[in-house]
Amino acid sequence: MLSILIPTYNYSVVELVTIVHKQALMAAIPFEIIVIDDCSTNQDINDKNKIIEDLVFCTYLKNEKNLGRTATRNSLAIKATYDLLLFLDADVLPKHDDFINKFELNINKKFKVIYGGICYYKEKPKPDQLLRWNYGHKRETKSVSNRVGEPYFIISQNLLINKKVFIKNNTLGKNTYGLDILFSGNLLKNDVKVKHIDNPVYHLGLENNETFLNKSLEAVKTTYLLDKNNQINKDLRPLQKSYLFLNKWKVDGIYCAVFKLIKKAIKSNLLSNNPSMFMFDLYRLNYFIELKNKRHG
């Protein structure tokens, strides 16, 4: 009935696999767990992860070269025995003890995509991880009632999906950060209905502020390229909508000129102990406009 699929890279999945394995056994359903390591470089973690092979219905595989999360997920889907796929990222843990049962697999057969949600622990992390933590709390942690208003804002860390639907919409391409937007855009274009439920996982893997800021700009560039190549709608994400508004009134150039004067101060805030999400949005929007206007710098 259920294939639980986990891509990992330099991250121990032993606790996650142990938890979902126990829950799947208690749910008394046919299941399998497949983990693919995307050519990790940390041998200690590799050795630890091999322990999961001792669990029944669990398979641990390793890519011969680093393919990236999107391609690895595609490999997982192809290898899956069952038509119902549950994708989990390596750095998550279920919030609820009945996480598997909360998907109500027998009841929800008519839905091709079910998103359970993401959450974060309330305790603040180290100061150099606050940007990622704040973003997670304020932008990714959403109630079901809020999520249904933006049904295609999907973070694929916790996603139940039909196998054929996933393979059709998981467009392969360059190994880059921020490709969830392409997957979400494909679901929208193909009119695939998404059901949102209250069954989140805790996201544990928090990058430091500098790393997350750089990854965020990489995600902005991904959005720009997808937008440029007409692979997603021009107004799919708030970032694109903000650009369209400024461009319509021909003030996008003025925005960048003013931003240049305060860019250093804004970056200092984002790397501080009290990063502002408003300034984070301004920072990303400036980069998007620069890409649109070919003003790299």
Q: What pTM was estimated for this model as a whole?
A: 0.94
pLDDT single digits (tens) 211-224: 999 999 999 999 99
pLDDT of 233 > 90? The answer is yes
pLDDT band at 21 (very low <50, low <70, confident <90, very high): very high
| 49-88 confidence digits (pLDDT tens) | 999 999 999 999 999 999 988 889 999 999 999 999 999 9
Q: Give the start-to-end residue ranges of the domains of the chain.
A: 2-205, 210-292
What superfamily would CATH give domain 2-205?
Spore Coat Polysaccharide Biosynthesis Protein SpsA; Chain A (3.90.550.10)
Query: 3 pairs with which residues across the strands?
Result: 32, 85
The mean-pLDDT minimum among 102-116, 143-157, 219-233, 250-264 falls in 102-116
Q: Provide CB contacts within 8 A for 12, sequence distance 6+.
A: 45, 48, 49, 90
CA contacts within 13 A on the Cβ side of 120: 20
Does the structure show a pLDDT above 90 at 240? yes
